[in-house]
A and B are shown apart, each in its own frame.
Chain A
């Protein structure tokens, strides 16, 4: 059964998406050259932006029929650009949970999610002195800890070395499987894709045919 289905989706007449279907319950990688609209696709799937024309279905219901904020929280997008506040890891969790109007999780839970994302810093460590890779992993951990049914990662390992990239992807995939979270990943890393993808959707080829 498909979780997402696109029908004649056109974004600002720049990107015309093929009528793709994304399957339920597996890890889906989205590939395509840069500029083919991978990141935009993720934003279209959870309604952060709307298509110029065409329809998108989530669980066989048009996404325009969902409440926008609920949809965005259910289908969580972890953007490529990570942003952390200039405070400790714990306070960053606190801040993001406040923005989400959720009760903050306890220290043990924070550590659990940080471990999944291969973060070995302490909760009191200040984020503003950390490297790009560390910040990216902490940001992913915070997002992973939010309740969601679909997790969309946009270039999750762009700032990470091979070892960390593998640990992170493998852990997240395992976690999502356990939690029955649908995982969608945009990555240009071919080896990562071959290793972790159950389903690969290429959007660039079709675009060329259409044009």
Chain B
């Protein structure tokens, strides 16, 4: 197999031209997110270039502390992203979300690296990219689940109030919201499995094939990572909401939905 074509800065810059199309559509459909597009593209570029430098350094000077630090940094950033998109939830709920994401994310990463791949968790070449995919997807899932939960509870305020008065227990009232939100968070991952390999060769596999890995090896990795992503999404969302909903009422079974 050939080595991947290294992109020169000049060639590479051409890809940014595609953003003009996005900009054009946004102007045409009056989507006032031009600023977000610019900030997001810029941030992505800067963050990835930085990551490139850091990874180069870590690969050249491997040290367990670097790998662990990188993993923790990713987890912390994922937690920060989720919480900044779901500001209205209470403090204990936030804590539970953070613990759920960190706990399930790190557990699944360890299982993947140590048990399935069979290399040391301190190996940066495996732990950093795989950890990133697992934790990144857990972040998307938890964020979606949390948003669904929070919004549906606000939208169904009058139903909830009525059920409280009727004498239903808070668990009985809230569990359906938890279940519904876990399902909503899980569906995109499940649907993406359906089309995988037919419509698209997923990102990880594409990367490996580009860099010269045998397709069969790439496929095994891809299947493994998709299953790990499904599991981590499910676990992180479930833990966040299942333990989190209990922060919505006190020991006298009174609801604390006040902050809106």
Q: Measuring CB to CB, which residues of chain A are less than 8 angstroms from any residue of chain B?
A: 47-50, 68-69, 72-73, 76-79, 81-83, 96, 99-101, 143, 146
Q: Contact between B165 and A48 (Cβ–Cβ < 8 Å)?
A: yes
Given contacts A73-B167, A76-B167, A143-B166, contact A99 B254 (CB under 8 A): no
Q: Tell whether B163 is near chain A: CB-to-CB under 8 Å.
A: yes
State the B residues within 8 Å of A (CB). Answer: 158-159, 161-169, 172-173, 252-254
Asked if A81 contacts B172 (CB within 8 A), the reply is no
CA distance A100 to B168 in the complex (A): 5
Would you list the 7 A-B pairs with minimal beta carbon distance, nearest first? A83-B162, A73-B167, A99-B168, A68-B253, A77-B165, A79-B165, A68-B252
Looking at B161, B167, B168, B253, the one whose CB has the most chain A CB atoms below 10 A away is B167
A55 CB, min distance to chain B CBs, angstroms: 15
Instruction: Decide: B254 and A50 in contact? CB cutoff 8 A.
Output: yes
Which residues of A are found within 8 Å of B164, using beta-carbon distances?
Answer: 48, 72
| 24 cross-chain CB contacts under 8 A | A48-B165, A50-B254, A68-B253, A69-B167, A69-B169, A72-B165, A72-B167, A72-B253, A73-B167, A76-B166, A79-B162, A81-B158, A81-B162, A83-B158, A83-B163, A96-B166, A99-B166, A99-B168, A100-B166, A100-B167, A100-B168, A101-B172, A146-B166, A146-B167
Q: Could you tell me the distance between the alpha carbons of A48 and B158 in the complex, rounded to whole angstroms? A: 15
Closest to B255 in A: A48
A82 nearest in chain B by CB position:
B162
Partner of B173, one of A81, A82, A99: A99
Across-interface contacts of B169 in A (CB, < 8 A): 69, 101
Q: With the chains together, A83 CA to B157 CA distance in Å?
A: 10
A76 to B163 alpha-carbon distance, docked (Å): 11
Q: A47-B252, A48-B254, A83-B159 in contact; A99/B172 too (CB < 8 A)?
A: yes
CA distance A47 to B166 in the complex (A): 13
Residues on the A chain within 8 Å of B253, using CB: 68-69, 72
Give the residues in chain B near A47, CB-CB below 8 Å: 252, 254
The residue on A at minimum CB distance from B249 is A68
Is A50 a contact of B172 with CB atoms below 8 Å?
A: no
Nearest B residue to A84, CB-CB = B162
- CB-nearest residue of chain A relative to B156? A83
By CB atoms of chain B within 10 A, which of A49, A81, A99, A100 has the most? A99
Give chain B residues whose Cβ lies under 8 Å from the Cβ of A50. 252, 254
Cβ contacts under 8 Å, A146 to chain B: 166-167
